[in-house]
C-alpha cells in the first residue's frame, strides 16, 4: 500500500482544522465532526489549543483512501508558530493550502506558498467557506493568480455562494472552457501538448490532459484549485479525489538502510516521550538501537580529544622523567 504524507496549511482561521475534521469524518476515522469553537477537535489536543481555538503544535492522524494510507498533518496557522510549520514541511509528500473564500489570500498565505514553492512541495489549493456571507470565487481566484502563482486551474465551479446549500461541481471532459484552459496551462511546461494545442486539427485527448495534470502537479509546476466548505462538506469529495489522483504517494523501501527524520516529539499520557518519524527507507522495530546523524562525528571528535589528552599526558610524563634523570 502506498503512503502519502499530507500537510494542511493555512492562514489562521481559514478553516484548516475544520477541513481536517471533515476529511477524517469522510474517511470514517471519526463518527462525529468536532468543532474548533467547542474545543473538541481531533487534532487540537492541548488545553491551550482548545481554549484559544487555534492549532499550536502539529498533529498527525492517519486514514486510508482506496489503496493509499494518508498521514495527515494539521499544522498551526498563526504566524507566531511558523517554526512548527517549517519543521513539518521537510517531511511532506504534498500539501493542501486552505484559503478563505471571504478573506481571500492573506499575509500568512503568501509566506506559506513561497515556502512550499521553494521546497517544491506539490500543492493543491482549497478555497474554503463558500457557504459564508461575502464568499467570492472569481475574485479569490484572481487574487491567487496575482499574489501566489499564475499556474493554477479551477477544477470545478462553485454555486450558491454565501448560502448554506452552496456547492461545488467538478469539471469534466464535456466542459470545453475547462479543457481549453487546462491545455493552455499544461502547454507552458510541455512542448508536445503545446504543439497539439496550437494545431486545432488534433486536439489533446482529455485523458492525456488529466495524466499530464497529475504529472505536473506532482512536480509542483501547477496547482489545481478546489472550492468548498469544510463545515457543510461541499466540495470535499472532489478534494479527496484530487489528493489521491494528483499528489505523489510512495511505496518506500522497507528493506533498505534505516533512514528517517524526527519532526515532532511530545509527551504521552504517562509522561513518556513519543517521537514522530518520517521514514525514507528501512524498518524500525521495538527496542531497535538507532544511530543518529552526527554520532560518528561526535565519536571521532571525542576520540581525537581523548587521544590528544593522552598523548600530551604521556609526553609530559616522559619529558619530566628524562629531565629528572
The answer to whether residue 99 scores a pLDDT higher than 80 is: yes
Shared domain for 194 and 307, answered yes or no, is: no
**136 with 65, same domain?**
yes
β-partners of residue 273 are 267
pLDDT of residue 37: 47
Examine the domain organization and report whether 30 and 156 are in the same domain: yes
For residue 281, pLDDT over 90 is answered with no
Q: Which of 66-70, 143-147, 222-226, 275-279 has the lowest mean pLDDT?
A: 275-279
Instruction: Specify whether 70 is located in the same domain as 176.
Output: yes
Of the CA atoms within 13 Å of residue 187, those in its CB half-sphere come to 15
- Do 307 and 234 reside in the same domain of the chain? no
- How many CA atoms lie less than 13 Å away from 150 in the CB half-sphere? 5
Q: Are the CB atoms for 44 and 153 separated by under 8 Å?
A: no
- DSSP per residue, 158-194: EESTTSTT-EEEE--TT-HHHHHHHHHHHHTT-HHHH
Q: How confident is the model at residue 85 (pLDDT cuts 50, 70, 90)?
A: low
Beta strands in 13-172 (DSSP E): 59-65, 68-74, 94-100, 123-128, 152-154, 156-159, 167-170
More confident residue, 156 or 286: 156
Q: What is the mean predicted confidence (pLDDT) over 268-283?
A: 82
Q: What are the grid coordinates assigned to 11, written together? A: 492562514
Element (H, E) at 304: helix 295-324
Q: Is residue 286 part of a domain?
A: no
- Give the Cα separation of 261 and 259 in Å (integer): 7
Residue 97 · residue 194 · CB < 8 Å: no
| Residues 113-127, mean pLDDT to the nearest whole number | 94
pLDDT at 28 over 70: yes
Tell me how long the chain is: 325
Residues 237 and 314 in one domain: no
Q: Are residue 80 and residue 186 in the same domain, yes or no? A: yes
pLDDT score recorded for residue 257:
87
Q: 55 phi and psi, to 5 degrees?
A: -90, 130
Q: Does residue 323 share a domain with residue 189?
A: no
- Is a pLDDT exceeding 60 seen at residue 97? yes
Are residues 32 and 136 located together in one domain of the fold?
yes
pLDDT at 316: 52
Residues 120 and 215 in one domain: yes
pLDDT at 24 over 90: no
Q: How far apart are CA 65 and CA 62, in angstroms?
A: 10
Residue-level pLDDT at 291: 81
Whether the pLDDT of residue 76 is over 90: the answer is: no
The domain in which residue 174 lies consists of: 2-246
pLDDT, position 313: 52
Q: Read off the pLDDT of residues 237-266 as tens digits, 9 standing for 90 and up.
A: 999 999 999 999 877 778 888 888 887 777
Higher pLDDT, 40 or 146: 146
Q: CB within 8 A of 91, min separation 6: which ones? A: 5, 73, 261, 263, 278
Mean pLDDT of the 22-49 span: 62
The stretch 126-154 carries a mean pLDDT of 97
Q: What is the rounded distance in angstroms from the CA atom of residue 160 to the CA atom of residue 245?
A: 27
CB 7 within 8 A of CB 96: yes
The last residue of a domain, from among 204, 220, 246: 246
Higher per-residue pLDDT: 106 or 57: 106
Mean pLDDT of the chain: 81
- For the four alpha carbons of 104, 106, 110 and 115, in that order, the dihedral sign comes to negative
Q: What is the pLDDT of residues 201-243, one digit of tens each?
A: 667 899 999 999 999 999 999 999 999 999 999 999 999 999 9
Mean pLDDT along residues 11-15: 87
- Counting residues of the chain whose pLDDT is more than 70, the rounded percentage is 77
Cα 59 from Cα 57, distance rounded (Å): 6
Tell whether 185 is covered by a domain. Answer: yes
Question: Does 306 fall in a domain?
Answer: yes
Nearest-angstrom CA–CA distance, 118 and 99: 19
Q: Give residue 59's pLDDT band: very low, low, confident or very high (50, 70, 90).
A: low
Does the residue 254 lie in any domain? no
Same-domain status, 125 and 201: yes
**Position 52 in a domain:** yes
**Residue ranges of E strands in the chain:** 2-10, 59-65, 68-74, 94-100, 123-128, 152-154, 156-159, 167-170, 223-227, 259-267, 273-281
297 CB contacts (<8 Å, ≥6 apart)? none
Question: Per-residue confidence at 295, pLDDT binned at 50, 70, 90?
Answer: low
What is the mean pLDDT of the segment spanning 45-63?
49
Residue 49 and residue 56: Cα distance in Å, rounded? 6
**Residue 3 bridge partners (DSSP):** 69, 250
Number of domains in the chain: 2
Out of 65-69, 169-173, 279-283, least confident range: 279-283
pLDDT tens across 130-140, in order? Answer: 999 999 999 99
How many CA atoms, within 13 angstroms, populate the side-chain half-sphere of residue 20? 31
201 shares a domain with 69: yes
Task: Please check whether residue 67 lies inside any domain of the structure.
Answer: yes
Of the CA atoms within 13 Å of residue 38, those in its CB half-sphere come to: 8
Amino acid at each position: 500500500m502506498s503512503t502519502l504524507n499530507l500537510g494542511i496549511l493555512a492562514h489562521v482561521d481559514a478553516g484548516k482544522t475544520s477541513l481536517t475534521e471533515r476529511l477524517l469524518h469522510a474517511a470514517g476515522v471519526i463518527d462525529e465532526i468536532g468543532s474548533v469553537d467547542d474545543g473538541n477537535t481531533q487534532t487540537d489536543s492541548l488545553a491551550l489549543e482548545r481554549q484559544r481555538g487555534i492549532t499550536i503544535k502539529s498533529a498527525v492522524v492517519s486514514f486510508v483512501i482506496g489503496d493509499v494510507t494518508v498521514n495527515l498533518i494539521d499544522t498551526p496557522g498563526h504566524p507566531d508558530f511558523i517554526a512548527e510549520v517549517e519543521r513539518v514541511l521537510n517531511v511532506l509528500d504534498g500539501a493542501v493550502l486552505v484559503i478563505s473564500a471571504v478573506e481571500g489570500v492573506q499575509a500568512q498565505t503568501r509566506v506559506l506558498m513561497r515556502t512550499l514553492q521553494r521546497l517544491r512541495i506539490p500543492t493543491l489549493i482549497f478555497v474554503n467557506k463558500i457557504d459564508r456571507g461575502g464568499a467570492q470565487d472569481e475574485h479569490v481566484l484572481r487574487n491567487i493568480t496575482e499574489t501566489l502563482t499564475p499556474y493554477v486551474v479551477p477544477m470545478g465551479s462553485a454555486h450558491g455562494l454565501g448560502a448554506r446549500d452552496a456547492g461545488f461541481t467538478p469539471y469534466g471532459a464535456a466542459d470545453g472552457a475547462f479543457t481549453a484552459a487546462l491545455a493552455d496551462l499544461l502547454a507552458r511546461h510541455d512542448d508536445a501538448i503545446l504543439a497539439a494545442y496550437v494545431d486545432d486539427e488534433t486536439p489533446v485527448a482529455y485523458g492525456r490532459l488529466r495524466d499530464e495534470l497529475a504529472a505536473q502537479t506532482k512536480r509542483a509546476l501547477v496547482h489545481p484549485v478546489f472550492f468548498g466548505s469544510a463545515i457543510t462538506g461541499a466540495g470535499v469529495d472532489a478534494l479527496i479525489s484530487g489528493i489521491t489522483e494528483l499528489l505523489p504517494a510512495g511505496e518506500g523501501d522497507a528493506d533498505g538502510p534505516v533512514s528517517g527524520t524526527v519532526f515532532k516529539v511530545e509527551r504521552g499520557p504517562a509522561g513518556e516521550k513519543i517521537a514522530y518519524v518520517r521514514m525514507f527507507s528501512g524498518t524500525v522495530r521495538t527496542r531497535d538501537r538507532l544511530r543518529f546523524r552526527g554520532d560518528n562525528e561526535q565519536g571521532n571528535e571525542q576520540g581525537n580529544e581523548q587521544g590528544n589528552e593522552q598523548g600530551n599526558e604521556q609526553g609530559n610524563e616522559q619529558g619530566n622523567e628524562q629531565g629528572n634523570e
